[in-house]
Amino acid sequence: MLARTLEGRRQRALVATKLWSAGDAEARQQAEHALDWFGGRIDLYQVHNLLAWPERLDLLQRLRDAGSVTAIGATHYAPSAFPELARVMRSGRIGAIQVPYNPREREVEREILPLVEELGLDPRCHVAIPATSSPEHMAANAAAGSPPWLDKDARAYVARLAEG
């Protein structure tokens, strides 16, 4: 659907997608399909949930070296996987991460965000992925990403509200 929406204006969008396959052949097929859909270029290609991450990063690095992928990242949704995510981050093979981070899920603040800063991966959140089927909620969520951003006191206030 996104590929059809971007027809004729692909150059005006940044496309991020994920590889999520334990098998090499299936991963190559996923990548080929995505590249076909999005004009031969993916701006951010991520290893989803760290599945077979050493092999998937090999594939994504080859695609980046060929000029088909701009940036490589990794994702995981569970704090229990954050030690492994930190290992991937320290490998120097990725430039972006996708993790849960909201007032009720702040585990990422302990190790992952300080490591992001230490490694110089990504100085702030660039993308929010809110789950909604409502166009009105999508527009409101998109507007929330525009400055001015919450300062330290406002973030602390939101955290207190989330804690009850």
pTM (2 decimals)?
0.83
CATH among 2.60.40.10, 3.40.50.150, 1.20.120.140, 3.20.20.100 for 2-163 = 3.20.20.100
- Domain residue limits, the chain: 2-163
Q: What is the pLDDT of residue 17?
A: 93
Q: Are 98 and 73 in contact (CB under 8 A)?
A: yes
Residues contacting residue 21 through CB under 8 Å, at least 6 positions apart: 27, 30, 51, 52, 56
Task: State residue 126's pLDDT score.
Answer: 63
What per-residue string of b and e applies to 46-80 under the rule 16 or more CB within 10 Å gives b? Answer: bbbbbbbbebbbebbeebbeeebbbbbbbbbeebe
Mean of the per-residue pLDDT values of the chain: 91
Cis bond upstream, residue 148 (ω within 30) = yes
pLDDT tens for each residue of 106-160: 999 999 999 999 999 886 666 666 667 788 887 887 777 788 888 999 988 988 9
Give the pLDDT band of residue 104 (cuts 50, 70, 90). Answer: confident
**159/39: higher pLDDT:** 39
